[in-house]
Amino acid sequence: MKKILLIGGLAVSTLTMAQSNDFNKLSIDFGFGMSKTFEPVRPKFETSFNFPYFDLGVRYMINNKLGFKFAVDYSRITNRKDVLSYREFSTNLIGEHFYTVVHWGNLLHSHDWDKMKKFTVIGWGGPGFSQMIGNGNFDNMLNFKGGATLMYKVSPQLALTAQGDLSMYAMGDWYVDMIQRRAFANAPATGVDGYTGGLALGVSYYLGAAAEHADWTPSESGNAAALEALKARIDKAEKDMMDDDKDGVPNYLDQEPGTAEDATVDTKGRTVTVEKVVDMDGDGVLDVNDFCPTIPGTASANGCPDKDNDGVYDFIDKCPTLPGVQSTGGCPEVKNEVKTLMSKAMKGVQFVSGKSTILKKSYSILNQVADVMNANPTYYLDINGHTDNVGNADNNMTLSKERAQAVQTYLMSKGVAADRMKAQGFGQTQPKASNKTSRGRAENRRVEFIIHFEK
């Protein structure tokens, strides 16, 4: 991956610096040859191969694959002498064209073919206008002309060319012998009226101060020296990224080339001595990382025993057999809805004044407590009775214990096992509020329900 990133970075940075402005874009293209007009010709007419035919244009390449060109061409059309014709004629055909140019040679990377390094091909096509002039008459037409040019590089400023093309004409009113179409029955006045093919030899002359023209620049950059420099940098990068001694450190970072095959090295390729690894308790956690090096444990608990795999070491885990969380000392978290219910029960369980008899209106909340205990067999419940400071302290202690036991007895009647509950009385020794006010005394008269997970 590092090798790919390094080479990619070099390529991007170099091409970015040498982009698009270091080759010539402008050329003058000229061709001279012959043409053949197939239409518009009247029945029993046939034109000869026409001389002269020439094409002159100015071409501009946006990059080395795409450009545009403006050109004019001229053909002289005559009838064949050996074919019976209505009369002899000589008509001048002139055209003005705007082409889109596609450099097929660069698109197809023809420069990579050994025998084609001095040859390339461009294609072009586009709309324009044509005029036929002859016999004192004049006709305007629309045209579309396209073709291809084979090029041979003579020098950085000059190329020889061979061109083939085809033109289509439309919206004409005259035949090539300058006889109007409407003079003949069923002659269409519009549509594709005719075709002319052309063959020409010529030259392309390149303008500009750069070393090469876009025609002979296969990459986006025309600077040959920059391309060679890029290749050299990529070659060096590839060599640097190799690892001759197979120690995992590339050559350009390796300060100790030729390391032994099984040697342990640092990030600079230098041999290092590895201390003997020790694991006294055999739990797979090395002693240097083991918080309990003499007691077999688990990796998740840093080498200490953790039966329930909750990340809390057994010797500090309040619930070593139940997976829990650190915030509760290794015990499971009590559900919020259970906490809310136990808080309501503390306020909702009421007794006959001065006695341990539970009022019937307290049964509903106690039934809910029983349901929670039966649904969660890992829960254990402390039932703690408390009183205010009114009356004798010993009597209050007895009363608080009897009330806690009364609650336990009720829950047992609802199916909660006795060994999962512990009833205790604390009398007036643990007030929650001041006993100086009636409100405070009422708050101190309570039964608390505390959930835990171990007996």
Give me the DSSP letters along 422-454: EEEE-TTSS-SS-TTSHHHHHHHSEEEEEEES-
Q: Output the six-digit token pair for 453.
A: 């997970």
Strand (E) or helix (H) holding 155? strand 137-155
pLDDT confidence tier of residue 449, bands split at 50, 70 and 90: very high
Of 191, 218, 152, nearest in space to 40 by CA: 191
335, amino acid identity = K
Q: What is the pLDDT of residue 312?
A: 78
**Distance from C-alpha of 169 to C-alpha of 128, rounded to nearest angstrom:** 10
Start-end of H helices in 59-135:
104-107
> Are 41 and 10 a contacting pair, CB within 8 Å?
no
Cα-based torsion angle of the residue sequence 395, 400, 401, 405 in order, rounded to the nearest 10 degrees: 140
pLDDT in tens, 68-88: 999 999 998 877 655 554 567
CA 33, 34, 38 angle in degrees (round to 5)?
155
Stretch 320-338: mean pLDDT? 77
Residue 166 has pLDDT above 60, yes or no: yes
pLDDT tens digits, residue range 287-323? Answer: 777 778 877 877 777 778 877 777 777 777 677 777 7
Q: Assess whether pLDDT exceeds 60 at residue 349.
A: yes
Q: What is the pLDDT of residue 199?
A: 95
Q: Of the candidates 91, 80, 151, 141, which has an alpha carbon nearest to the alpha carbon of residue 116?
A: 151
* CA dist., res. 249 & res. 268, Å (int): 7
> Among candidates 348, 410, 333, 344, which has minimal Cα distance to 379?
333
- Determine contact, residues 149/55, Cβ cutoff 8 Å: no
Judge whether residue 390 has pLDDT over 60. Answer: yes
**What pLDDT sits at residue 101?**
97
Summarize the confidence of residues 44-49 as an average pLDDT. 64
- Range name among 40-49, 148-157, 228-237, 395-404 with the lowest pLDDT average: 40-49
Give CA–CA dist 120/401, Å, rounded. 107
Tell me the C-alpha to C-alpha distance, in Å, between residue 124 and each of 144, 206, 436.
11, 18, 106
pLDDT at 155 over 90: yes
Contact 293, 305 (CB under 8 A): no
| Three-state secondary-structure class, residue 341 | helix
Q: For residues 129 and 145, is the Cβ–Cβ distance under 8 A?
A: no
Average pLDDT over residues 324-339: 78
381 or 264: which leads in pLDDT: 381
pTM: 0.46
Cβ–Cβ < 8 Å for 444, 433: yes
Tell me what percent of the residues of the chain surpass a pLDDT of 90. 35
Reported as a single tens digit per residue, the pLDDT across 244-297 is 778 778 887 877 887 877 777 787 778 777 666 677 777 777 777 777 887 787
The CATH fold of domain 336-452: 60s Ribosomal Protein L30; Chain: A; (3.30.1330)
Rounded Cα–Cα distance for residues 202 and 165 (Å): 14
Check residue 54 and give its pLDDT. Answer: 92
Beta bridge partners of 336: none
Distance in angstroms (rounded) separating the CA atoms of residues 338 and 344? 10
Question: According to the model, what pLDDT value does residue 183 have?
Answer: 56
Where is pLDDT greater, at 112 or 419?
A: 419
CB contact burial 266-287 (16+ within 10 A = b; e otherwise): eeebeeeeeeeeebebebebee
Q: Where are the domains of the chain?
A: 19-216, 275-330, 336-452
pLDDT attached to residue 31: 96
Q: Could you tell me if 79 and 37 are in contact, meaning their C-beta atoms sit under 8 angstroms apart?
A: no
Q: What is the per-residue pLDDT for 89? A: 74
Lowest-confidence segment of 144-153, 225-234, 237-246 by average pLDDT: 225-234
Question: Averaged over 327-336, what is the pLDDT?
Answer: 77
Q: What is the pLDDT of residue 34?
A: 92
| Farthest CA pair distance, the chain | 148
Contacts of 351 (CB under 8 A, 6+ apart): 357, 358, 359, 362, 403, 406
What average pLDDT does the structure give for the chain?
81
Distance CA 32, CA 21 (A): 32
Tokens encoding 395: 């009597």
Q: Give every CB contact of residue 15 below 8 A, 6+ residues apart in sequence.
A: 219, 220, 221, 230
Strand-pairing partners, residue 74, are: 54, 94
pLDDT at 292 (0 to 100): 81
pLDDT at 41: 52
Residue 408 has pLDDT above 70, yes or no: yes
CA distance 27 to 363: 104
Residue 196 and residue 167 in contact, taking contact as beta carbons nearer than 8 Å: yes
- Determine the average pLDDT of the residues in 390-417: 92
**Alpha-carbon separation of residue 299 from 307, 317, 330 (angstroms):** 12, 17, 17
Cβ atoms within 10 Å, residue 246: 8
Q: pLDDT value at position 18?
A: 37
Fold of 19-216: Porin (2.40.160)
343-356: average pLDDT: 86
